[in-house]
Structure 1
Amino acid sequence: MFEEIERLTRALCAEHGTSGCEDDVFKVAKKELGFCKEVCENELGGVVGIFGDLSSKRRILLDAHIDQIGMIVTDIDENGFLHVTNVGGVDRRTLPGSPVAVFGTETVTGIGCTLPPHLAKGDDKIKPVAEQCIDLGLPKEEVEKLVAVGDRAALTRPLKKLMGNRITGTALDDRAGCACVIRAAQLANEQNPDCCVMVLCSTKEEVGGQGAQVSAYALEPTEAIAVDVSFAKQPDAESMLTAELGKGPMIGFSAALDRKISKKLVELAKRENIPYQLEAMGGRTGTNCDEISTTRGGVRTGLISVPQRNMHTPAEICDFEDMENIAKLIAAYITDKEAQPNA
């Protein structure tokens, strides 16, 4: 039932793409957007696929960021240990004792250094990422043949199916969102929409949203929907800030978002019998919506989020049913004759 959304997710998550080094995963996005009338790549912005009526005055931008959190090598010490700092919001608790992929002249595996509890002397605080090291198991002269300052590293785990429709692994933030917008484009393209649709897998969201900002400026959309991940219920998480896995897309309401788009998404979800959940935010969303909505003279922007557990860890969890329903909701928005906010 969810074969295509799973295929897209696996293909996108299989490639490395730390912010600023997304070239490998760009190739996957370009291939998957091959059905579009135009596909182009911009290292500063991302990969864009355009379909529908390219001359239409109604220009819808669908955005999801393709970059993932990771680390950058800052030094190689005299003993061959890699010193790193984070690229995006790496959870410092996940690095000690974990396998780390280091992308140098070749991809090599290291381990996040951790002090045995026997030697910890009662200090169990986990240091910031910038104060932790990676061990490749080699002396400095050998390490320097493989890795240089400026190379990237990431905690990586292949995707694994859990029970039911759930998936866990690395980079689901926000390759899950990319899979959703590509799948939505597939569904909408089958209906020959009379508007221009631009699908953007954007860069650098984890370090400030620059990819969405420059792309929105260049593409000049009249409206936009971004897809990112948000918090799903799990132990110790505040219930008012979370949603249920498998209970549908999270439709955002915020002062930073266009209320008409948010309400239209709710209306369409009801009409199409798509389960949905609401996510309310007081101001900025912490997603690419914040950059897209203030581009040029302003862009009406909506947000749909994929519920996710264990965000910013190597074991993020999403549900394929939520993702497929996001794709269906966006496709309904694109093809609905009255969906334009000014209609």
Structure 2
Amino acid sequence: MTWAEVLYELTTADGVSGEEKNIACTCAALLEAYGKPSIDINGNVLCEIGEHDSSKKTVLLNAHIDEIGMIVSYITDDGFLKVSKCGGIDDRVLPASQVTIYGREKLYGVVTSVPPHLQSEHDKVAPVDELYIDTGLSGERAKELISLGDRVLIENEPAEMGELVTSKALDDRICVLAVLMALDKLAEKQSAYNIKVLFSVGEEVGGNGAKTGTFTSDADLALVLDVSFGKVHGESEEEVGEIGKGAMIGIAPTLSRRLSDCLTDTAEAEGLPYQIEVMGGRTGTDADSITISKGGIPSCTVSIPIKFMHTPVEAVKLSDVEDTAALVAAFCERGAF
């Protein structure tokens, strides 16, 4: 399977927060080439890579597998759905979007919108709690096929966009791909660490998967791979990373500065492009949970810049993914921490 095919598998699998079974099974199958994966009671995918050496430290490689979406909260008598957010979906992309409803069978709907000819306010973005999903079904039939709590997604398949790839769920499946690529690079090399992988659930709704998954990992340090804001057009350069300039190494009060420095030293030594991402408090990633697990685990974020975060058309440059994978692999090989 090519990396493009792996990316297709990862991004097209459904896995809205709290319902990650399909993407968990996909990730577990992909990890079988490197170890013996398992899925824990919460849905996290865990895998010990290769032989374990008790004299070595253990590094945890983490990326989350859940994606933003919606959850059915009410079904009207005429077949319309009310939904709530699962994660921080961008309200601006919802009106007139085609959605997939994961009910007793896969169904399709459209988020209601008022035609512009009939709008009195053209500049107001309707919040999700003011929108409905038109299922095209009668109320009776909708209630037969759809249950409260079913998940809803705006679907989109990967597509090439110039030098970029665009898709839903690049947050954070592109980092799952980076972890797999790093493991592939390490397959013929000697890692200075024992390696464990945690593909965690529930990051978009608070990070409970990382809290429980890390607790059983016995990790001594952790690299947390997630996406971050890539420059599109007009943003402050102080607040975003540059697409095509490599991984973004995190520095924050909640992260290990020593680990951040080890990563930058590795990038310098290997001639890999990198960027520094400074955060003034919590990172908003699974690192916030992992770093305080048990007695504390030194952690650092390694982020891939993407465009259009939390929309169905997130976009990434694959060279950034490759450079991130190379950095993770080189760090594991060097063992400088």
1: distance between equivalents of 2:119 and 2:41? 44
How many residues align structurally? 336
1:19-69 deviation digits (Å, cap 9, x = unpaired): 111111111101110123321111415111211441334110000000000
SS at match of 1:199: strand
Aligned to 1:315: 313
- Pick closer, same or farther for the CA change 1:194–1:276 going to 2, 3 Å: closer
User: Does residue 63 in structure 1 map to residue 57 in structure 2?
Assistant: no
Question: 5+ unaligned residues in a row in structure 2: which ranges?
Answer: none
- Which sits farther off after the overlay, 47-56 or 238-247? 47-56
CA contact (8 A) 1:177 1:229 kept: yes
1: distance between equivalents of 2:59 and 2:141? 51
| Paired AA for residue 168 in structure 2 | T
Deviation of 1:125 after TM superposition, in Å, equals 1.5
How do residues 85-124 of structure 1 correspond to structure 2 at under 5 angstroms?
85-122=84-121, 124=123
CA contact (8 A) 1:65 1:202 kept: yes
Aligned to 2:5: 7
Deviation of 1:326 after TM superposition, in Å, equals 0.5
SS at match of 1:97: coil
1:209-229 deviation digits (Å, cap 9, x = unpaired): 011111111112000000000
Give me the TM-score of the superposition, normalised by structure 1: 0.95
2: distance between equivalents of 1:295 and 1:45? 18
User: Does residue 302 in structure 1 map to residue 303 in structure 2?
Assistant: no
CA contact (8 A) 2:68 2:88 kept: yes
**Among the aligned pairs, what percent are the same residue?**
37
Picking from 162, 168, 171, the partner of 1:170 is 168
| Paired AA for residue 73 in structure 2 | T
Runs of 4+ with >3 A deviation: none
RMSD: 1.4
Aligned to 1:205: 203
Deviation of 1:332 after TM superposition, in Å, equals 0.5
How do residues 237-316 of structure 1 correspond to structure 2 at under 5 angstroms?
237-316=235-314
Deviation of 1:116 after TM superposition, in Å, equals 1.1
- Pick closer, same or farther for the CA change 1:44–1:8 going to 2, 3 Å: same
CA contact (8 A) 1:45 1:214 kept: no
| Paired AA for residue 11 in structure 1 | E
Deviation of 1:194 after TM superposition, in Å, equals 4.5
Aligned to 2:330: 332
1: distance between equivalents of 2:306 and 2:192? 33
CA contact (8 A) 2:100 2:109 kept: yes
- Pick closer, same or farther for the CA change 1:249–1:5 going to 2, 3 Å: farther
How do residues 224-235 of structure 1 correspond to structure 2 at under 5 angstroms?
224-235=222-233
1: distance between equivalents of 2:224 and 2:4? 20
- Which sits farther off after the overlay, 140-149 or 323-332? 140-149
1: distance between equivalents of 2:275 and 2:265? 12
- Which sits farther off after the overlay, 82-91 or 139-148? 139-148
Aligned to 2:142: 143
Deviation of 1:184 after TM superposition, in Å, equals 1.0
Question: 5+ unaligned residues in a row in structure 1: which ranges?
Answer: none
1: distance between equivalents of 2:129 and 2:201? 23
